[in-house]
Structure 1
């Protein structure tokens, strides 16, 4: 799951990228609104953290442009501007939440988690498709109530699939979920992960949860209970 941090303060930018990355998020960084719009056009972004005082295109203008372009991803404003008027202006521009600097990282994470849960329509920490259950809090995966051990990359791919059932997902989209924008990857890494997931989730070959659509990518089937 990729988060876009739009922040021109290099220190805050680096802290957020590092700490959110340690929590398992993929983090892209933009220093102004123009660069942020580029990332949003090229990558699948789950949430944006936006500073208001940005060069070229400020945070308010960026958020308004996002909503004008029908981007419905959640937006958390992160700014040094205090006072209720600034907060109201930010929320009226289309933001979903507002956090004032200086801030506690734990509070930011709590707000990010709440926004992501709300945006995906989930109020629970578990995803269930047929006999496959993924607990987002404990990161435990069970098939027919039996625990299955996955690597970190396998878990990320399965999480993306289960949050987007029936969606055709390209290999490049899955690579984007696993790696940073500038990281190099081997061409067959996704095929290897998919093969391992199929073997671990469906050793008997009866469920066949992951379909391969030649030339288009993969699709996680909506399995019967």
Structure 2
């Protein structure tokens, strides 16, 4: 079962989201309403996903993305402001996606599932701006991708997640996840979206 730490300072919003996740079989192991509490819950609870409000009473939630990622969690940010700049900051920090608070609860639940499975979830209208922002990163001189890793990279560029990659390559899901992680490691990327951006900049995608 997917384990989630829900970080939201508005009680009614947190309650609605928490109930939707629980109904879908997603375990909300903790709730937090501040930056400090969120970090403590994530480090102690070891969640799969941190569903993170961007604006919290004691700071900007996106500033903690790197800490959550270091603790082994994927991060899906919730915000009322959907701009390419905000989405890019989330991606640059290693976040796995950004959802509007106005999104349907069913869509939010599905986004959590996708992020837990290793996919990235950004509004398609924001992707161009995110990729433009990420292309300024350092190059990948010396990285060597195997033929299978190049196949994996191509599938990532098509928007596939580990489950789809597993099916397309005819390998176990864990093997597909390993291929994805190897691609990220070799490209020096912190997310699948960033890996695709770097690969496009370096001419690794047709």
**Structure-1-length-normalised TM-score:** 0.50
1:104 is displaced (CA, Å) by 0.8
1:108 paired to 2:104? no
1:93 paired to 2:109? no
Find the aligned partners of 1:47 and 1:67 in 2 and give their Cα distance.
Answer: 9
Find the aligned partners of 2:101 and 2:17 in 1 and give their Cα distance.
Answer: 13
Matched with 1:38 is: 40
Query: Number of residues paired by the alignment?
Result: 126
**Structure-2-length-normalised TM-score:** 0.54
Q: Which has the higher helix share?
A: 2
Find the aligned partners of 1:45 and 1:21 in 2 and give their Cα distance.
Answer: 15
1:121 is displaced (CA, Å) by 4.7
Task: Describe the SS at the equivalent of 1:82.
Answer: coil
CA contact (8 A) 2:4 2:50 kept: yes
Find the aligned partners of 1:95 and 1:33 in 2 and give their Cα distance.
Answer: 16
User: Alpha carbons of 1:86 and 1:26: their partners in 2 closer, same or farther (altered >3 Å)?
Assistant: same
Find the aligned partners of 2:58 and 2:163 in 1 and give their Cα distance.
Answer: 36
Write the mapping of 1:1-225 to structure 2, written as runs, cut at 5 A: 1=1, 2-28=3-29, 29-67=31-69, 71=72, 73-118=73-118, 121-123=162-164
Q: Deviations over 1:173-214 (max 9, x none)?
A: xxxxxxxxxxxxxxxxxxxxxxxxxxxxxxxxxxxxxxxxxx
CA contact (8 A) 1:32 1:58 kept: no
CA contact (8 A) 2:77 2:97 kept: yes
The runs of 5 or more residues in structure 1 that have no matched partner are 126-162, 165-225
CA contact (8 A) 2:79 2:101 kept: yes
Find the aligned partners of 2:26 and 2:69 in 1 and give their Cα distance.
Answer: 24
Find the aligned partners of 2:57 and 2:108 in 1 and give their Cα distance.
Answer: 23
Task: Describe the SS at the equivalent of 1:118.
Answer: coil
